[in-house]
Amino acid sequence: MRILKSSLIVVAVVATLGLGWLFDQAYEQYTPQNTSPDAIDVLRQLGENLAQTADKSPSSKEFLSHWPNIKQYSLVLQPANESPLPQSLLEQMKRGEPVLLETSKSLSYHYFLPAKDEILILRSPLLNKGANASTHYLWTTAFYLALISIFLLWAYPLVKQLLSLRAAARAFGEGKLDKRITLSSISYIHDIEVEFNNMAQRIENLIADVKLLSTAVSHDLRTPLARIRFGIDTLQEVEDKDLRQELEEQLGDDVDEMTSLVETLLNYARLEQNRVEIQKEPVNLSNVIEYCIKRKKSDELKLSFINKTNNQAVLADNQYITMVLNNLLQNAINYGRGQVLVELSQDKHNTIISISDDGNGVPAEQRENIIKPFFRGKNRLNQVKGHGIGLAIVKRILDWHNGTLSISNATALSGSKFTITLPFQH
């Protein structure tokens, strides 16, 4: 919207002031003026000379009789006490200042003759009358046409962008969830287009997540429910005390599994609906990584950490960044063979954390789906418990921090490599 406001101000200023100045210059250059200042000065000087001569002559009427009978120019004598002019103008003439009056057809200079107590009136036609009203109308029309043309040229991209936005919104409302607006850096409504694309992407993600949630619920809940149903039926027929206790323990485990799944669903829904408050503060990632590694150390694991940075802090929520690192470390432990390498580095704009394991890696065709909720990789699936929600939570938290998550093959080890990029935020 800032581009829209600034461009509107620029167009308004340039169009009004710029065009006004341009047309003034053209008008003065190519159009004769309605009244020539030089001609008026000549006429004024002529009237003053005539007034002085008439005032000094023995008979002013005899002086006027010698004036040529020309219709365009005429001299008239009028007694001062009979003049219809207001007193203020009479006082002005008596001070020696002529009075110029203009009508739609003529100009008239009025001079006071003190010796005769009369007023000499010199009438002349409007000077340079060739610049008639039609010429003024023509220039005025040209000015407004140019002004309208500039505003239409400015408004055309805006109208086009608004129509594109309307078409995208209509298509999106009709179910075409992949519809997006092609962004342009010079668009007047760039911010609105970005927000629309973000909204569309979020809605598409939400609908995709709902589908995944429904699939996961129907799949993951069906098994423990079937076991509970079978266990209850069996429990009613068993009389052996030890067997009944064993069945009751199995039922308890199935209930715990269902409870865990429901809690997982609720936690993810809470993250998805943005009901959390991110409290960013300077976080030393080196300390956080060492803390997470310390909690997961054991005799069966070899956890290594290489710090290649100057320990520059990043703005982040310490609690959620710790959750991200714990999830990725646990994922590397679950799908590796006991060796995990964590590297911390940085470039000009970002802090980079990479976590590598010595497992079988993530197939390229699964890397895009593995960060979706309730999607679990096929690698060692039977040996790892969970609901496939850890990486989805990681992705969501990184989105809050304007970070990214990428998956590739590890170079130092034989398995997969998960890379986090967090921008420096001031």
Q: Kindly list the structural domains of the chain, giving each domain's residue range(s) and its CATH number in brackets, ordered by start.
A: 37-125 (3.30.450), 191-272 (1.10.287), 281-423 (3.30.565.10)
Q: What is the pLDDT of residues 189-204, one digit of tens each?
A: 878 888 888 888 878 8
pLDDT band at 335 (very low <50, low <70, confident <90, very high): confident
How much is the average pLDDT of 307-328? 88
Which position has the higher pLDDT, 176 or 4? 176
Q: For the packed helices 241-272 and 390-400, what is the interaxial angle rounded to 10 degrees?
A: 20
pLDDT of residue 405: 93
Phi and psi at residue 244, in whole multiples of 5°?
Answer: -65, -40
The per-residue pLDDT for 129 is: 47
Q: Are 332 and 379 in contact (CB under 8 A)?
A: no
What's the per-residue H, E or C state across the chain?
CHHHHHHHHHHHHHHHHHHHHHHHHHHHHHCCCCCCHHHHHHHHHHHHHHHHHHHHCCCHHHHHHCCCCCCCCEEEEEEHHHCCCCHHHHHHHHCCCCEEEECCCEEEEEEEECCCCEEEEEEEECCCCCCCHHHHHHHHHHHHHHHHHHHHHHHHHHHHHHHHHHHHHHHHHCCCCCCCCCCCCCCCCHHHHHHHHHHHHHHHHHHHHHHHHHHHHHHHCHHHHHHHHHHHHHHHHCCCHHHHHHHHHHHHHHHHHHHHHHHHHHHHHHHHCCCCCCCCEEECHHHHHHHHHHHHCCCCCEEEEEECCCCCCEEECHHHHHHHHHHHHHHHHHHCCCEEEEEEEECCCEEEEEEEECCCCCCHHHCCCCCCCCCCCCCCHHHCCCCCCHHHHHHHHHHHCCCEEEEEECCCCCCEEEEEEEECCC
Predicted confidence (pLDDT) at residue 205 exceeds the cutoff of 80: no
Q: Residue 64's pLDDT is what?
A: 76
Rounded CA separation 257/259 (Å)? 5
pLDDT-derived band of residue 268, with 50, 70 and 90 as boundaries? low
Distance CA 204, CA 173 (A): 12
Amino acid at 66: H
Give the pLDDT confidence of 357-400 residue by residue, as tens digits: 988 888 888 888 788 766 666 654 445 565 667 788 888 888 88
- Residue 282, pLDDT > 70, answer yes
pLDDT digit string, tens, across residues 63-82: 777 777 666 778 888 888 88
